[in-house]
């Protein structure tokens, strides 16, 4: 049996494992003005036009999501799971590939999706959000490296991951990991960003293609 092409696959979540941008989804709950503003900031950050750290706090300050809204976002993530994602993940695991989730999204929102896909909590890397006793927004973990443009690179470099490593994602923060991983795959199943595609080592449009890439 041929060994997988990669020992570890790191997956972005928003617009990769799931077809939504979580913070943009939350912004839609605040009406058109906030939604348009937050979506524009997200798009600019994911295209690399502006650094993520310049918009991370501002977007959440505009939204101030409550605990119940984070719970609703969890359900939305699961409902928007990429076609074939669960099957591909099972195939990769069965072939001995290690998988982790790496997201600049909110940890409490992505954990149920991770559980659905049978990830251990320790293999889920995202940003913690804080609430007060009544469930109102009380900030986020500003010390998390995942709130800055280079954060995914910093995180991956700090983990003891089996090589070779493939990073899969749609945005500039995913592309930035090329300096610390062995290959970067631009995922275009939900959104195609020209600069990310242009600088990727490979492009995959579906999780079936991803599984073929790793297991071929």
- For residue 174, indicate whether it is catalytic: no
Task: Give me the residue spans of the domains in the chain.
Answer: 8-215
CA 179 from centroid of its chain's CA atoms: 18
The dihedral sign for the CA sequence 209, 212, 213, 215 = positive
Q: What is the pLDDT of residue 2?
A: 79
Active-site entry in 14, 24, 170, 174: 14
Residues counted in the chain? 216
Q: What is the pLDDT along the chain (216 residues), one digit of tens a residue?
A: 579 999 999 999 999 999 999 999 999 999 999 999 999 999 999 999 999 999 999 999 999 999 999 999 999 999 999 999 999 999 999 999 999 999 999 999 999 999 999 999 999 999 999 999 999 999 999 999 999 999 999 999 999 999 999 999 999 999 999 999 999 999 999 999 999 999 999 999 999 999 999 998
DSSP string, 135-201: S-EEEE-TT-GGGSTTHHHHHHHHS--PSSEEEEESSHHHHGGGGTSSEEEEE-SS---HHHHHH-S
Is-contact 79 113, C-beta < 8 A? Answer: no
Q: Could you tell me the fold of the domain covering 8-215?
A: Rossmann fold (3.40.50)
First to last CA, the chain: 11
- For residue 68, indicate whether it is catalytic: no
Give 23's contacts (C-beta < 8 A, 6+ positions apart): 38, 42, 59, 60, 63, 105, 106
DSSP string, 90-114: HHHHHTT-EEEEEEEEEHHHHHHHH
């Amino acid at each position: 049996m041929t060994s997988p092409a990669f020992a570890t696959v790191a997956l972005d979540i928003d617009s990769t494992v799931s077809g939504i941008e979580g913070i943009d989804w939350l912004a839609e709950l605040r009406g058109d003005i906030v939604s348009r503003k937050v979506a524009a900031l997200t798009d600019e950050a994911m295209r690399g036009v502006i650094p993520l750290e310049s918009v991370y706090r501002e977007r959440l300050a505009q939204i101030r999501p409550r605990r119940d809204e984070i719970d609703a976002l969890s359900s939305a993530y699961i409902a928007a799971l990429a076609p074939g994602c669960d099957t591909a993940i099972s195939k990769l695991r069965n072939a001995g590939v290690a998988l982790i989730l790496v997201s600049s999204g909110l940890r409490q929102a992505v954990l149920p999706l991770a559980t659905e896909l049978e990830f251990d909590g320790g293999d889920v890397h995202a940003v913690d959000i804080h609430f007060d006793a009544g469930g109102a927004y009380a900030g986020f973990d500003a010390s998390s490296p995942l709130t800055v443009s280079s954060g995914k690179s910093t995180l991956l470099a700090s983990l003891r991951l089996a090589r070779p490593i493939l990073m899969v994602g749609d945005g500039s923060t995913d592309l930035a990991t090329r300096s610390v991983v062995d290959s970067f795959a631009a995922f275009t199943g939900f959104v195609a960003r020209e600069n990310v595609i242009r600088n990727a080592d490979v492009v995959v449009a579906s999780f079936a293609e991803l599984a073929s890439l790793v297991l071929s």
